[in-house]
Amino acid sequence: MKKGKPTIGMRMLPAVVAVLCIIGAGCSKYAPSPIPQQKQRIMEIEARTSAPVSDSFYYYFAFDTSDPQSQDGPRAYLSGPERGKNWSYYIRLKSGVFTEKAVSAASSIDDEPETFNTLSPRFYQASAIGNVINIKLYLDRIITPPASMSMNIITSELPLTPTTADIPAIDYFIQPKVTLATTTGSYTDNSLNPLSTSHTVTDEQQKSADIVSWTYEIYER
Ligand SMILES: [Ca+2]
């Protein structure tokens, strides 16, 4: 073959490409279309403290997700026989570490919570910066949520413990049952629930455990 002379194959290349394109176009008609990404409900809670969030305290976000709801919502009992009363799921912040616990049976309230990070199917985002604690999670992965649930934000110096000694909560909702709708677009906050976190911490040493405001929102991502 002489150098530089195009072969028949090379000369036919455009035609071959065109045929392949037609075949390709024909085939794509039958190719499976990508599954559209299902949007998921995110629950976002933001709580603000009087002084910057401190490693000295435990911050509990306790939920009653049971259906039907308990009469009085998640109570601020951290010890004694009623500890963790009506808590079916909670997130705890201590020393910059977020943990979570789904309370499946009454006895499991005393189990150590598991780390709430990217390994948790419920985790979306969580941070504690300055005076702001922000938690975002996949609502539908807590449970199949009922039309509404209830929440309490409880702070303390000691963790929830199966002891008869009194472990007093520092801050908590005066009215323990704050009802939250779980439908997309739901929103509520402390001003709409005037009895929530209205307990004012007077001890200067405990201002970091004083929740002064909070918001709750449901949206899709
Ligand atoms: Ca407060």
- Phi, psi for residue 155 in degrees, rounded to 5: -120, 150
Type of residue numbered 135? I
What is the residue-wise DSSP string for 98-133?
A: EEEEE--SGGGGGSPPEE-STTSTTEEEEEEETTEE
Compute the distance from residue 38 Cα to the ligand 1 centre, in Å.
38
Rounded Cα distance, 97 and 161, in Å:
18
Cβ-based neighbours of 143, under 8 Å, separated by 6 or more: 65, 88, 89, 102
Compute the distance from residue 31 Cα to the ligand 1 centre, in Å.
58
Is 54 part of a structural domain of the chain?
Answer: yes
Is 144 part of a structural domain of the chain?
Answer: yes
- CA-CA-CA-CA torsion sign (183, 186, 188, 192): negative
Rounded Cα distance, 76 and 84, in Å:
7
Compute the distance from residue 221 Cα to the ligand 1 centre, in Å.
31
3-state secondary structure of 215: strand
Is 15 part of a structural domain of the chain?
Answer: no
Is 205 part of a structural domain of the chain?
Answer: yes
Compute the distance from residue 151 Cα to the ligand 1 centre, in Å.
15
Compute the distance from residue 100 Cα to the ligand 1 centre, in Å.
22
Is 25 part of a structural domain of the chain?
Answer: no
- Phi, psi for residue 59 in degrees, rounded to 5: -120, 115
Type of residue numbered 9? G
Range of the domain at 182: 41-220
Cβ-based neighbours of 117, under 8 Å, separated by 6 or more: 98, 123, 126
What's the pLDDT at 18? 47
Is 53 part of a structural domain of the chain?
Answer: yes
Is 150 part of a structural domain of the chain?
Answer: yes
What's the pLDDT at 31? 67
Locate 59 and state its tokens. Answer: 């911050």
- Which residue do the tokens 């603000």 mark? 48
- Which residue do the tokens 């435990």 mark? 58
Q: pTM for this one?
A: 0.83
Compute the distance from residue 195 Cα to the ligand 1 centre, in Å.
10
How large is the C-alpha radius of gyration of the chain?
27
Compute the distance from residue 40 Cα to the ligand 1 centre, in Å.
32
Compute the distance from residue 169 Cα to the ligand 1 centre, in Å.
11
pLDDT in tens, the chain (221 residues): 444 444 444 455 454 444 444 444 444 556 677 777 789 999 999 999 999 999 999 999 999 999 888 999 999 999 999 999 999 999 999 999 999 999 988 778 999 999 999 999 999 999 999 999 999 999 999 877 778 999 999 999 999 999 999 999 999 999 888 999 999 999 999 999 998 888 899 999 999 999 999 999 999 99
Rounded Cα distance, 89 and 151, in Å:
10
Cβ-based neighbours of 50, under 8 Å, separated by 6 or more: 131, 201, 207, 208, 210, 211, 212
Compute the distance from residue 191 Cα to the ligand 1 centre, in Å.
13
Is 70 part of a structural domain of the chain?
Answer: yes
Compute the distance from residue 49 Cα to the ligand 1 centre, in Å.
8
Compute the distance from residue 7 Cα to the ligand 1 centre, in Å.
84
Tell me whether strands 89-94 and 97-102 are parallel, antiparallel or unpaired: antiparallel
Compute the distance from residue 183 Cα to the ligand 1 centre, in Å.
27
Instruction: Count structural domains, the chain.
Output: 1
- Phi, psi for residue 209 in degrees, rounded to 5: -100, 10
Compute the distance from residue 103 Cα to the ligand 1 centre, in Å.
26
